[in-house]
Amino acid sequence: MQRFDATNFHLFCDKLSRRDKDLKAVIRQYGYPPMWTRPASFQSLVLFILEQQVSLASAYAAFKKLKEKIGYITPVKLLALSDEEMRACYFTRQKAGYARGIADAIQKRQVSLRKLGALKDDDVRAALIQLKGIGHWTVDVYLMHALQRTDLFPLGDIALVNSLKEVKKLPPHISKEEMLSIAEPWRPYRTIAAMILWHAYIIRRGIKIQG
């Protein structure tokens, strides 16, 4: 259950550079990736829900609108909002339902985000995947960014897949199994490899990251 933090993040990047010439080339050209982390909180989980299958810009617009409405996002505050108020914060009906369901589960103590930090990756996945609206991609990014676990590689993430294909010069229709086999030598630091690949993707496209 290894974690990355400010004391070891660049060390893990350097280890990957020694193992893989393509990751080394990314770091040489663009520098170290940012250490993308978020608090292990309900507020972060809401943002991950908003980021599902949409652009980062549109997800953050809804997140910002919600924060302007209620301040720091808690289950109690979110459950107090009406359908109309959620729509005014750019939530689709589906994502409003997901956010409310997760808030309700936390309120009823069906899941404790605080306790997840002490669990193994697979146990965190088992606890979160039972909540409607949380799939494997959301669990992966929560483990990576909120719990700072070192060995996730979410192939449900389109940007990561596209960057892997670019950096490794892979054919467009390569299978997930083949991509996982390429990432296998990066264990137990596949999270850090993913961040290096995201870093390349973001810089090459001039994407601005908020929040």
In a domain, 125, yes or no: yes
Whether residue 3 is contained in a domain is answered as no
Domain shared by 57 and 105, yes or no? yes
Based on the fold, state whether residues 79 and 127 are members of the same structural domain: yes
Q: Please check whether residues 32 and 16 belong to one and the same domain.
A: yes
- Read off the CATH number of the domain in which 31 is found: 1.10.1670
Can you tell me the mean pLDDT for 89-106? 97
Query: Does 166 reside within a domain?
Result: yes
- Note the pLDDT tens digit of each residue in 107-135: 999 999 999 999 999 999 999 999 999 99
My answer on whether 64 and 134 are in the same domain is: yes
Are residues 94 and 123 both part of a single domain? yes
pLDDT value of residue 42: 98
Q: Is the domain of 68 the same as that of 141? A: yes
Question: Distance (Å, rounded) from C-alpha 101 to C-alpha 94?
Answer: 11
Residue 140 sits in the same domain as residue 196: no
Q: What is the pLDDT of residues 16-72, one digit of tens each?
A: 999 999 999 999 999 999 999 999 999 999 999 999 988 888 999 999 999 999 999
Q: Look up the CATH number of the domain holding residue 126.
A: 1.10.340.30
In a domain, 60, yes or no: yes
Specify whether 97 is located in the same domain as 70: yes
- The number of distinct structural domains making up the chain is 2
On whether both 51 and 138 belong to a single domain, the answer is yes
Average pLDDT, the chain: 96
Q: 205 or 146, which is more confident?
A: 146
100 is a domain residue: yes
Would 46 be classed as within a structural domain?
Answer: yes
Q: For 162-204, what is each residue's pLDDT tens digit?
A: 999 999 999 999 999 999 999 999 999 999 999 999 999 999 9
This model's pTM is above 0.85: yes
Examine residue 211 and state whether it is found in any structural domain, yes or no.
Answer: no
- Do residue 48 and residue 140 come from a single domain? yes
Residue that finishes a domain, picked among 146, 163, 191: 146
CA–CA separation, 171 and 203 (whole Å): 22
Expressed as residue numbers, the domain containing 89 is: 42-146
Residue 2 within any structural domain of the chain:
no
